A and B are shown apart, each in its own frame.
Chain A
Amino acid sequence: MNLFVGKNHQKIASMDSRPAIIEMRDLRKVYDTGAVKVEALKGIDLKVEPGEFVAIVGPSGSGKSTLLNIVGCLDTPSSGSYRLDGEEVAELDVDELADIRNRKVGFVFQSFNLLPQITAYENVELPLLFHGTHSRERKARVELLFEQVGLADRMHHRPTELSGGQMQRVAIARALACEPALVLADEPTGNLDSTSGKDIMALFEDLSAKGHTLVLITHDGAVAKRTKRIVQFQDGRIVEDRPTIVAA
C-alpha cells in the first residue's frame, strides 16, 4: 500500500467525472466590526483540480489568511458558493464543519501547532481519534505515517524534544492521517532555517508527485517557485493566476 496515494487519488485514473477539490464562485467575506465593514474577499472565483500543487501568494492583508480559513472550513463565507471535494460547505453547522475538516482537510501550520503535553505519536493519532478509527488500525496507520516522514525513531518523543524541521514533519504526518482530499499549508517553512525549509519543500514535492492535492500559502518567492501554479492576491482579489515558470 502506497500511503501517499490515498483512496481519493486512486479514483482519478478510473473516473474523469471526479469533482474539483476547491471550487469557489463569487466568494465574498465581510468582517463586520460594528462601526466599519471590512470586505476581506471581494468575489473570488477559484478552481483547484485533484493533484494540483498551488501556491497562494500576496502581501499581508491581501486576504490570503481569510481565504485559507474558508478553504480549510475554519470560517464560512459571507456570500458566494464554496464546494470542497464536491460538498457545499456554506450551510453546515459547527459539528458538520468539524467532521469535514477531519475527513477532507489536512492542516500544516507555520508554528507547527503540535500539542506540547503529548507525544508526537499521540499528536498524529489525534485526528484518527476524532475520526473514530479502530485502535488497531490507528496504530498501524500512525506507525506507517512516521516511517513515511522519516521519524519512526522519534515517535514517542514530546514535541519539545524535537527540532523545528522534525516538528513540521510530525505536523505533516498528522495532516495526512485521515487521507484528506486537500493538504493546506500556511507558511510551512516560515519558522524553519533554510536547510529544514528545503527538506520540508522536498517532502511536499514528493507528496505532490504521489498525487496529493496541495495548497500552500506563502510570501516566500523561493517557496512559491517550487509549486506548479501561483495564484497572486491583492486587496481581496486574485490579480494573477499562472503556471509556475521553471527557470531554465
Chain B
Amino acid sequence: MFNLPLILKLFRRTAGINRKRMVMTVAAIAWGTLSIVLLLSFGEGLKRNLTKGSRGLGEGIIVVWPGATSKAFGGFPQGRNLRFLPEDADLLEANIPEIALTSAEMRKWGNTVTYGRNTLTKPVVGVEPAYGELRNQIAQAGGRFLNDKDEELKRRVAFLGNDLKKELFADKDAIGETIYINQVPFTVIGVMEKKLQMGTYGGPDANNAVVPLSTFRALFGRRYVSNLVVRATSPEVNAAVKKRLYEILGAKYRFDPSDERALSMWDTVESQKVTRNIGVGIEIFLGIVGALTLLIGGIGVANIMYAVVKHRTKEIGVQMALGARRSYVIGPLVVESLSLTAMGGIIGIVVGVGLVQILAFAQSKANSDALAFLGAPTFSLGVAFTTVALLGSIGFLAGFFPSRRAVNIQPAVALRYE
C-alpha cells in the first residue's frame, strides 16, 4: 500500500516549482528556523546559567538558623530565642545517619583586613573544613581550603574570596602572604575559584575571608554559631533530614519538634527546583514564540502546495486515470513539501548555529553583568531535536492537507480542468 521507493521516484519526476516562489518559501522557513534556533539557544543558555548560579551557593545543602519558639514547651514559655553551639554540628552528624557533611558557621561583619598599605572593611567567617565542599568554595590552583590541622591547631590561616583577593592584592600572587585581620596576622593559604553565585546569605562568598572556626572563636571570643550547614547523603532524603533536625535540636534545646519557627531553613534542593522550573518556563515561552514564527513559514509552504495542487490538477487527474492510488498522489506532494521545509530548515539551522557561536563568543568577551547573567546561548541536543521535530511536522502538515484536497478531486473533473 505504502510504496516509498515509488513515491520518491514519482516525486523526482513530478516536482518542480516556480523558482521565485520556491526561494520565497524556503526563505520564510529559514527565517522561522533561525528565530526558533536563536530563541531556544538563548533559553537554554539562560536555563543553564540559572542552574549553575543556583548551585553556586552549594549543592543539595540545608542551611539552618536558630529561631525563636512559638509554642510553650517543657515548662518554657513561647518566644524564647534559641542559640546553637559549634558541638551541635557533631551532635547532628552522630544522630542522623542521612547526614553526610556538616559545618558550623560564625560570621562577623566590619573587620579590617589589611595587606601592606591597603586596608578594607570585610566580613570574616569562621567555619569547619567540610564547609569548602558544602558551599562550593574551591581553591584556585596553588592554594587549598582549610583542613583539620588548621582547625585543631587554631592556625591563623585565611582562605580569601576571589573579589577580596583582587581588592587586596590586585594581580599579585596572594598565597603565603601575610594579611592582618583586625591587626592579627594571618597567612593566606588559598583563594576561591571564581563561581557564579545567585543565592547568598550574608553577602557573596567572593567578598569574604574564611578562617578556621577554632581560630575565629579564639580571636573574637564567640560562643554561639550564626548557623549550621548540612548536606544529606542524597537530595531525596532532605525532607526526612529536616524533620530529624527539629527532633534532635528540639530534644536538646527543649522545643516542640512541630514548632516550625524554632528553626529557619534554606533547602537549596527546593530553591533549585524553583529555579529549574523558571528556566524551563522561560524556555517553553521562547519555544512558543519561535514555533509561531516557524508556523508562519509553514503556512507559506502550505500556500505554495495548494497552488501546486491547483496548478497540477489536470496532471493529477491523468495520473489517477492511469491508475495512481491515493498514496501515489499524496506521497510525492508530501515529500515535496518536506523537502522545501528541509531546505529552509537546513539553512536556518546552519545560520542559527553560526550566529549562536558568534554571540556566545561575544558574550564571553563582553564585560557586562547583564550579559553574564543571560549566559552564553547554547545550541544543545534538545534544541536541535525540538527544531527538527517542529520542522518535520510543519512540513508534513503543509504537504498533507493540500494533497488531500488533490485526491478528493474526482478524476473525471480533474481531467477536464484547464
Using CB atoms and an 8 Å cutoff, list the residues of chain A in contact with chain B.
69, 72, 74-75, 94-95, 98-103, 107, 109, 113, 115, 117-118, 122, 126-127, 129-132, 174, 178
Q: How far is the CA of A203 from the CA of B321 in the complex (A)?
A: 22
**What residues of A have a CB within 8 angstroms of the CB of B411 in the complex?**
74-75
Not counting A98-B323, A115-B315, a sample of 10 additional A-B residue pairs whose C-beta atoms are within 8 angstroms of each other reads A100-B323, A101-B320, A101-B321, A113-B314, A113-B318, A113-B321, A115-B14, A117-B16, A130-B324, A130-B328
Given contacts A74-B410, A113-B318, A115-B318, contact A127 B323 (CB under 8 A): yes
Of residues 184 through 240 on chain B, the ones whose CB sits less than 8 Å from some CB of chain A are: none
**What residues of B have a CB within 8 angstroms of the CB of A101 in the complex?**
320-323
Q: How far is the CA of A99 from the CA of B325 in the complex (A)?
A: 7
Q: How far is the CA of A130 from the CA of B412 in the complex (A)?
A: 19
Given contacts A74-B410, A129-B6, contact A95 B326 (CB under 8 A): yes
Q: How far is the CA of A101 from the CA of B317 in the complex (A)?
A: 12
Instruction: Tell me if B319 and A126 are in contact (CB < 8 A).
Output: yes
Q: How far is the CA of A74 from the CA of B414 in the complex (A)?
A: 10
Chain B interface residue number, banded = 20 to 34
Instruction: Tell me if B326 and A130 are in contact (CB < 8 A).
Output: no
A-B contact pairs, 6 of them (CB 8 A): A74-B412, A75-B411, A94-B326, A98-B323, A115-B318, A126-B319
**What distance in Å separates the Cβ of B289 from its nearest Cβ neighbour in chain A?**
40
**What distance in Å separates the Cβ of A82 from its nearest Cβ neighbour in chain B?**
15
Q: How far is the CA of A91 from the CA of B172 in the complex (A)?
A: 93
Closest to A109 in B: B415
Task: State the total of A-B contacts with C-beta under 8 angstroms.
Answer: 69
Using CB atoms and an 8 Å cutoff, list the residues of chain B in contact with chain A.
3, 6, 9-10, 13-14, 16, 314-315, 318-326, 328, 407, 410-412, 415
Q: Which of A69, A72, A99, A131 has the most CB of B within 10 A?
A: A69
Q: How far is the CA of A102 from the CA of B6 in the complex (A)?
A: 15
**What residues of B have a CB within 8 angstroms of the CB of A99 in the complex?**
323, 325
Instruction: Tell me if A95 and B322 are in contact (CB < 8 A).
Output: no
Instruction: Tell me if A117 and B323 are in contact (CB < 8 A).
Output: no
Instruction: Tell me if B321 and A107 are in contact (CB < 8 A).
Output: yes
**What distance in Å separates the Cβ of A94 from its nearest Cβ neighbour in chain B?**
6
Closest to B1 in A: A95
Q: How far is the CA of A131 from the CA of B323 in the complex (A)?
A: 8
Instruction: Tell me if B14 and A130 are in contact (CB < 8 A).
Output: no
**What residues of A have a CB within 8 angstroms of the CB of B415 in the complex?**
74, 109, 113
**What residues of A have a CB within 8 angstroms of the CB of B315 in the complex?**
115
Instruction: Tell me if A129 and B325 are in contact (CB < 8 A).
Output: no
**What distance in Å separates the Cβ of B267 from its nearest Cβ neighbour in chain A?**
63
Closest to B15 in A: A117
**What residues of A have a CB within 8 angstroms of the CB of B314 in the complex?**
113
Q: How far is the CA of A102 from the CA of B314 in the complex (A)?
A: 17
Closest to A116 in B: B315
Given contacts A74-B410, A130-B328, contact A122 B13 (CB under 8 A): yes
**What distance in Å separates the Cβ of A137 from its nearest Cβ neighbour in chain B?**
15
Q: How far is the CA of A168 from the CA of B81 in the complex (A)?
A: 105
**What residues of B have a CB within 8 angstroms of the CB of A130 in the complex?**
6, 319, 322-325, 328
Q: Which of B10, B323, B328, B411 has the most CB of A within 10 A?
A: B323
